[in-house]
Amino acid sequence: MVGAKGYSSYRGRGSKWKILMAVILVLVIAAAASVIYMQQYIVYSADGRRQIVLPWETEGEEEPAPPEDLSEAPLDVVVQEPEDQGPKETVAFSLPAQPMRQSAWGEFSTLVFGGGSGTYNAVAIRLKTANGTIYFDSANAVSGAVDIVNEPGDDPEETALALGLFTAREGLHTIASMACLQDFKAANADVEGRGLKNTGGYIFYDGNNSLWLDPAKPGAREYVCALAKEIAELGFDELLLTDFSYPTVGKINKINYNTDVPLANNLDLLLGDLNTALEPYDILLSVEVPEAVIAEGPDTVAGLDLNRLAGRVDRIYAATTPEKVETLSNLVSQAAGADGKTEFVPELAAGSPAPAGSCLILAEG
């Protein structure tokens, strides 16, 4: 049978098209696989461009060391200690010598914080007088020295409560004033162990019938240091030593100084012991001296020498007048030297014009 004309040789076009599609598909799959495979050899240059670095192109080069485990590596931590700027500038108001009461805090806070002048940011409280009376509950005081009541029936705890109001006040610099070596009660209580004696072997009375502790005796230094530590534990910011000297009035030629060295050496011993005793506490140590010791030079009778004091205490106080403050301050700075932090603080009478810098306004009477 003869087929229809024109269709006997037709095979269709589908088979060739399928082959072409298969080839293209294989090429796409191969290209994709190549891209995936080559991802491990793609690196980025410093300018951010991508490039392919094949394995044989890096042969012979050292591989970078793996990063160290910083969690196990020791760290050298350098702590920058704050520079000691010395005592802050204070303008102090001095309270009368007596057992403190909460009413005293009320009067002072009204003066300073309650619409008063706002001049003061510090207060000086007398905690030990030249006759040996102590105005806080001291466990180390000699018998009969502690006085913490003003009137019969007063609550003995009132003093501690009142002192706590002062020391706890934020921003208020508290100064504890303490008679150091002039001490009638402690010297009389132990003449051999603490008291300053005369050449006859008895307790020495100065021209004002006062008694003194002998800084050459360890017992005297221990007593002063024990009281100083108690004051630091009360929370005061500064301890101001008054009567820090040997007596200078009366028959001083009759004193048995109990030493062959300069008297200033014995005061140095006491300062050294005090600095050691107060080292654990955040408290400044200051001394009061006569103006003449700063302006005129050492007083060998008193044992006071500005050049030996400056640099060993934080502050040196002296009663003076406003017009002399700058000169005295410069002399203290010169004695302390370039690295010294010792500051001069003038003690001024009430009503005096306040100078620039720190000062202490003395209590009236």
Residue corresponding to tokens 């005090």: 274
Q: List the chain domain ranges.
A: 15-57, 91-361
Mean pLDDT across the stretch 102-112? 83
Instruction: Work out the pLDDT band at 37, boundaries 50, 70, 90.
Output: low
Mean pLDDT of all residues in 273-293: 97
343, β-bridge pairs: 315
Residue located via tokens 């087929």: 3
Superfamily, domain 91-361: Glycosidases (3.20.20.80)
For the packed helices 263-278 and 218-233, what is the interaxial angle rounded to 10 degrees? 40
Q: What is the pLDDT of residue 12?
A: 46
Q: Which bin fits 41, alpha (ψ -120 to 50), beta or left (φ > 0)?
A: alpha
**Average pLDDT rounded to a whole number, residues 100-122:** 77
For residue 79, what are the CA distances in angstroms to 71, 74, 76, 82?
20, 15, 10, 9
Question: What tens digit of pLDDT does each residue of 179-202 get?
Answer: 999 999 999 999 999 999 999 999
- Tell me the two tokens of residue 222: 């221990």
- Average pLDDT of 249-256? 96
Residue of 128 and 154 predicted with greater confidence: 128
Q: How crowded is residue 270: how many other Cβ atoms within 10 Å of its Cβ?
A: 21
Query: What is the predicted pLDDT for the residue at 347?
Result: 96
**For 297-320, what is each residue's pLDDT tens digit?**
999 999 999 999 998 999 999 999
Q: How is residue 117 written in tokens? A: 């002048």
Tell me the C-alpha distance between 137 and 122, whole Å: 23
Whether 288 and 211 have beta carbons less than 8 Å apart is answered as no
Q: How far apart are CA 55 and CA 137, in angstroms?
A: 86
Please give the backbone phi and psi of residue 91, each rounded to the nearest 5 degrees, phi first.
-120, 105
pLDDT of residue 8: 41
Which of 11-15, 47-51, 107-111 is predicted most confidently?
107-111
DSSP E strands, 83-202? 91-94, 122-128, 173-179, 197-198
Of 131, 314, 146, 138, nearest to 227 (Cα)? 138
Least confident residue range of 65-79, 128-142, 183-197: 65-79
Backbone region of residue 47 per phi and psi (left: phi > 0; alpha: psi in -120 to 50; beta: other values): alpha
pLDDT bin (cut points 50, 70, 90) of residue 36 is: low
Surface-to-core class of residue 347, CB atoms within 10 Å of its CB (0-12 exposed, 13-18 middle, 19+ buried): buried
Beta strands, E only, the chain: 42-44, 50-52, 91-94, 122-128, 173-179, 197-198, 238-242, 255-256, 284-288, 315-319, 343-348, 359-361
- Average pLDDT taken over every residue of the chain: 84
Q: Which residue has the higher pLDDT, 74 or 309?
A: 309
Report the distance separating Cα 238 and Cα 260, nearest Å.
33
Q: Kindly tell me the number of DSSP H helices and DSSP E strands found in the chain.
A: 9, 12
Q: Residue 109 has what pLDDT?
A: 82
What does 279-335 look like in DSSP terms, one character per residue? TTS--EEEEE--HHHHHT--BTTTTB-HHHHBTTBSEEEEE--GGGHHHHHHHHHHH
